[in-house]
Structure 1
Amino acid sequence: MANITAADVNKLRQTTGAGMMDCKKALVEAEGDFDKAIEILRKKGQKVAANRADRESSEGAVIAAVNADNTQGVIISLNCETDFVAKNESFTKLATDLAELALNYNTKEEFLAADFNGLKVEEKLTEQTGVIGEKIEIGSFETLSGAFVNSYIHAGNRIATLVALSANVEGADEAARNVAMQAAAMAPLALNEEGVDAVTIEKEIEIAKDQLRQEGKPEAMLDNIAKGKLGRFFKDNTLVNQDYIKDSKVSVSEYVKSVNADLTVTGFKRVALA
């Protein structure tokens, strides 16, 4: 039987993230062959993943990352089954490392096939399922590009946002972060009126009309009054029209213009765990 040292076990643990006893068992089974031991641990992960495929992975960590020149951002959610795992430091680090890698890819499919320390991302998730004993998967994958992009991650890693501005001007960094905080706190449906889909608009008009009928308003007046109520809906639910949370006397759009008269918000992304 191969002589398995503590250093061998620790090396395998550092490489795979598996527990000490799992690493020792794998090395014993592999008769000291390091690569074979890694493969044994991966197969264990596949078995655990198969057994837990129908589990709900509604907990996790939502992480945003932005590239060095602030022109591209990404948000991913690394999902797991329990809050206990989600709060683990090594799990959060894995989510952060994966988010940094995700900056290089435009789609979730490309990202899952990307190399992560010698494994495809998808294979790494399977491996970690075996290590942790819970279903681990990438939930959301959102990207945003623009002249200037910044991010915000809310405490606890349950909400992350990206905001793009029209120019990289003095004060853009703070402005974009503040608007990203706004998006995290206020959960807008869209950037502006144009971003609200027709189905939602029609639904809001019908809701307003029903309320007006219950108030006894004449049918002939309903359309005009409902359109006025729709304006309030846009103000509450579109990012640039919302009252700015740090100064409710101005809208988000007006706040951004106070930083630079030509500055506008060109896009945002928001991901939150349910």
Structure 2
Amino acid sequence: MAITAAMVKELREKTGAGMLDCKKALEDSGADIERAVDILREKGLAKAAKKSDRIAAEGLVSISISEDNKKASIVEVNSETDFVAKNEEFKTFVNDITTIVLKSNANTVEELSNEKYLDTESTVQETLNSKIATIGENMNIRRFDKFEVETGQVAGYIHGGGKIGVLVEMETDSNSDEVVALGKDIAMQVAAMNPKYISQKDVDPDYIAHEKEILIQQALNEGKPADIVEKMVVGRLNKQLKEVCLLDQPFVKNPDVTVGQLVQDLAKKLGTSINVSKTVRFEVGEGIEKKEENFAEEVAKQLKN
């Protein structure tokens, strides 16, 4: 029976093994997919697939920035345990992926998975499967983002050894190192305070309407007269917006000035405009439901595998 591309694809999806390994297994099995699965398992090449249902909520965030500060990438790669996230092989893999993202045209994780892994003949997905088999935990490239500016600079910050990563894009004519230093400070601010928006003009009208409704109900529940509730709510809403908008927040290094004032001061000093145009913040495992397990039980499970 002839081995088709569809059969190779199906086997790859079942096992997570490399394309060439799947083709060879199909040849050895006489095009019997179930037997080919067994062959790959026997060789240890399907080990990654066996672990694919485990929750990977730990891991690392990494950033890579070009020498001219015009391009940058940020990547989150997840593992099952923090122990593996501290493994040097895992760290190297994450850094490599960040470098690949910086240089590639991939826009999705699926596209990235089919990119060549550095100077090897393997794809990113094939290399990831190999790492899973070697390290013994489920791992996945969860997400990435890329910044590229023509007129401006990009800066970044990593917090907690890779638990939080931030990139900041600034539109400006200046190539001063002071702009990059400012960007790093702003990235640190974003890491610490996690603002929802850059400025009040970016705020979603639906967010304002929703928050206003809640604040009105709060004021009424406090027994405030209905005729003054509207004025009270305006004041409370303005205060809340200053907390969720980056440029209105007190600067973490010097609470006497806002981030917006910090930007304006440097722009005035350099004689040019500086506009914080985009930020991205990745925190390891955010939004993933983590599985609570006793460490001793987890070790016992690993020993049984």
State the TM-score, normalized to the length of structure 1: 0.80
Pairwise CA distance, 1:243: 0.8
Structure 1 residue aligned with 2:141: 138
Does 2:240 match 1:237? no
Tell me how far 1:195 sits from its aligned partner. 2.8
- Larger mean CA deviation between 220-229 and 240-249 belongs to 220-229
Distance verdict in 2 for CA 1:211–1:157, change over 3 Å? same
Residues 120-269 of structure 1: pairs in structure 2 closer than 5 A:
120-146=123-149, 147-167=152-172, 168-170=174-176, 171-261=178-268, 262-269=273-280
2:244 & 2:163 partners in 1: Cα distance? 21
Q: Does 1:69 align with 2:68?
A: yes
| 1:160 Cα deviation after fit | 0.3
For 2:229 and 2:44, the matched residues in 1 are separated by: 64
Q: Is the CA contact (8 Å cut-off) linking 1:41 and 1:127 kept in structure 2?
A: no
Deviations 1:7-54 (A, max 9, x none): xxxxxxxxxxxxxxxxxxxxxxxxxxxxxxxx9799634x22221221
Per-residue deviation, residues 144-200 of structure 1 (Å, max 9, x unmatched): 233100111113211000011122342111101111111111111121223332332
Give unmatched runs, 5+ long, in structure 2: 1-38, 287-305
- Checking the alignment, whether the CA contact within 8 Å between 2:41 and 2:47 is kept in structure 1 is no
User: Which whole-Å CA distance do the structure 1 matches of 2:101 and 2:267 have between them?
Assistant: 31
- Secondary structure of 1:69's match? coil
Partner of 1:97: 96
User: Which deviates more from structure 2 when the two are superposed, residues 181-190 or residues 214-223?
Assistant: 214-223
* CA RMSD of superposed structures (Å): 2.1
CA deviations 1:35-85 (Å, max 9, x no partner) are: xxxx9799634x222212211110001001112221221110111100100
Whether contact under 8 Å (2:79, 2:138) holds in the other structure is yes
User: Do the aligned partners of residues 222 and 137 (structure 1) sit closer, same or farther apart at CA in structure 2, a change above 3 Å counting?
Assistant: same
User: In 2 relative to 1, CA 132–202 (structure 1 residues): closer, same or farther, beyond 3 Å?
Assistant: same
Aligned residues: 235
Q: Return the alpha-carbon distance in structure 1 between the equivalents of residues 201 and 48 of structure 2.
A: 42
Letter in 2 for 1:259: L
Label 1:145 to 1:100 Cα distance change in 2 as closer, same or farther (>3 A).
same
Q: Which AA in structure 2 matches 1:96?
A: N
Structure 2 partner of 1:57: 56
Unaligned runs of 5+ in 1: 1-38
Question: Quick one: which amino acid aligns to residue 115 of structure 1?
Answer: K
- Of 171-180 and 219-228, more deviation after overlay is shown by 219-228
Please say if 1:114 is aligned against 2:115. yes
AA matched with 1:44:
G
Q: 1:272 aligns with which of 270, 283, 294?
A: 283
Q: Percent identity?
A: 30
* CA separation of 1:219 and 1:43: change in aligned 2, threshold 3 A: farther
Structure 1 position 222, deviation (Å): 2.7
Cα distance in structure 2, aligned partners of 1:236 and 1:210: 20
CA gap of 1:216–1:87, structure 2 versus 1, over 3 A, is same
Whole-Å Cα distance in 2 between the matches of residues 193 and 124 of structure 1?
Answer: 44
Between the aligned partners of 2:283 and 2:247, the Cα distance in structure 1 is: 20
Query: Are the equivalent residues in 1 in contact too, given 2:56–2:138 (CA < 8 A)?
Result: yes
Higher alpha-carbon deviation: 169-178 or 102-111: 102-111
Counterpart Cα distance in 2 of 1:132 and 1:267? 36
> SS of the residue aligned with 1:207?
helix
